[in-house]
Amino acid sequence: MNLRMNYRAANPGAFKAMMAMEQHVSGQFEDKVLYELLKIRVSQINGCAFCMDMHAKDLMKLGNYGEHILLLSVWREVPIFTEKQRVMLEMAEVVTRISEHGVPLELYNKVREHYSETEIVNLIMAINLINSWNRIAITTGMYPGCFN
């Protein structure tokens, strides 16, 4: 594995802008476990090893969530995720793959049962942000430990 470029060094302003958005969005989430689960699941879908590694480690710092990480890709088949987490995971998957089917009204209504309008915007922003990070990492050849 070779890092194609260090985008942080190539365009520090772009990195600074992304970090500012990251700080804003992450600050909107009281439930940091939910936020990290969202980031890991989207990164799984996109195949971003760098982000999966980073956010799995971040989730483990919040407690013993090894089982959640191991079973995240099959979240529909296991009982360890709360209903609120399940709704978020479904929303994260659908928004990440939005070009396939859009966001069905049934899902939107289910999300509204668990989240306020402000929280829904926060979810959408978080999903978009991790998708952006994934695309940067994959395009520039980032891999776990590439900046160590």
Question: CB neighbours of 67 closer than 8 A, spacing ≥ 6?
Answer: 80
Mean pLDDT of all residues belonging to the chain: 97
Contacts for 137 with CB less than 8 Å, ≥ 6 apart: 48, 50, 51
Q: What confidence category does residue 13 fall into, taking pLDDT thresholds of 50, 70 and 90?
A: very high
Cα distances (angstroms) measured from residue 63 to each of 38, 66, 111? 16, 9, 26
Instruction: State percent of the chain over pLDDT 70.
Output: 100
Residues 77 and 71: their CA atoms lie apart, in Å, by 9
Which residues does 108 contact at the CB level (< 8 Å), separation at least 6? none
The per-residue b/e assignment along 76-103, b for 16 or more CB within 10 angstroms, e otherwise, is: eeeeebeeebebbbbbbbbbbeeeeeee
47-99 pLDDT tens trace: 999 999 999 999 999 999 999 999 999 999 999 999 999 999 999 999 999 99
The amino acid at residue 93 is E
Q: How far apart are alpha carbons 141 and 73 in whole angstroms?
A: 23
Q: What is the pLDDT of residue 147?
A: 86
Q: What is residue 20's three-state secondary structure?
A: helix
What structural domains does the chain harbor?
Answer: 31-140 (1.20.1290.10)
Give me the pLDDT at residue 113, please: 98
User: Which is nearest to 130 in space by CA: 39, 52, 57?
Assistant: 39
What average pLDDT does this structure show over 4-31?
97
Q: Could you tell me which residue, 145 or 148, shows the higher pLDDT?
A: 145
Q: Is 72 within 8 Å of 43 (Cβ atoms)? A: no
